[in-house]
Amino acid sequence: MTTTDPVVIMKQEVGKAAADRVQSNSIVGLGTGSTTAYAIQYIGERLQKGELTNIVGVPTSFQAEVLAKKYGIPLTTLDAVTHIDVAIDGADEVDPHKNLIKGGGAAHTREKVVDSLANQFIVVVDSGKLVDKLGSTFLLPVEVIPMAVTPVMNKLEQLGGKPELRMGIKKAGPVVTDQGNLVIDVKFESIDNPAELEKTINNMPGVLENGLFVGVADVILVGEIIDGKPSV
């Protein structure tokens, strides 16, 4: 189906550009989200056309697993491979140092495991995700085991954040991650030292992982519209 929505066009183009970088005989980390979904689709199409052979994917979420199966990408797990050649994943914010906020799809814990294992981690974003400073447009997601939600929220407040439990569609109940945990989204006025904040939050008892990805990304592919034309 064709679209005229510029954000969708940017996501499609950047997803395709990332899929084009995948080489035969490789183990590919498959990220989560609407942009990576296009990369997964195009990797599947390249496999179907015979342009790519001997690809195996490591999904970062149930969503990525379902999409990979839909597009015919064989899957494996981290128990069966010793490395990942390339991982492709989206982001909610990207700063000028290639640091990221991820977790808009509540998948950041598995994403960090897979993305940080990859020899090359390619981030795919539309130009609206670029920020000067992390935390300026997006809340920081923190995955927490359910019994620790209140003490972790208190600690995040002591750190200067404004935490909110992420609710699902129609606010009928909290969002539950693939691991059966909950997500707290935190507004920080300013994230001056992402590396330190990443460690501080992960050190809180009950926190599984937060969405700061510092020093993990290798390549940032940005989808843009220039003079009315899509470009990466």
Tokens describing residue 59: 């999904």
Does 53 belong to an annotated binding site? no
Specify the residue, 150 or 176, whose C-beta has the smaller distance to ligand 5RP.
176
- Rounded to a whole number of angstroms, the CA Rg of the chain reads 18
Binding residues for ligand 5RP restricted to 85-104, rule: CB under 6 A: 89-92, 102-104
Binding residues for ligand 5RP restricted to 104-123, rule: CB under 6 A: 104-108, 111
With beta carbons less than 8 A apart as the criterion, state whether 59 and 70 touch.
no
* Contacts with ligand 5RP, 41-80, as mask; x by CB under 6 A: ----------------------------------------
Which residue in the list 111, 143, 198, 209 is annotated as catalytic?
Answer: 111
> Considering only 25-33, 74-82, 155-163, 200-208, which stretch makes contact with ligand 5RP by CB under 6 A?
25-33
What CA–CA distance (Å, rounded) separates 157 from 155? 5
Q: Tell me which residue of 125, 83, 64 sits closest to 100, measured CA to CA.
A: 125
State whether residue 176 is helix, strand or coil. Answer: strand
With beta carbons less than 8 A apart as the criterion, state whether 56 and 27 touch.
yes
Residues marked as catalytic: 111
- Summarize as ranges the residues that interact with ligand 5RP (CB under 6 A): 31-35, 89-92, 102-108, 111
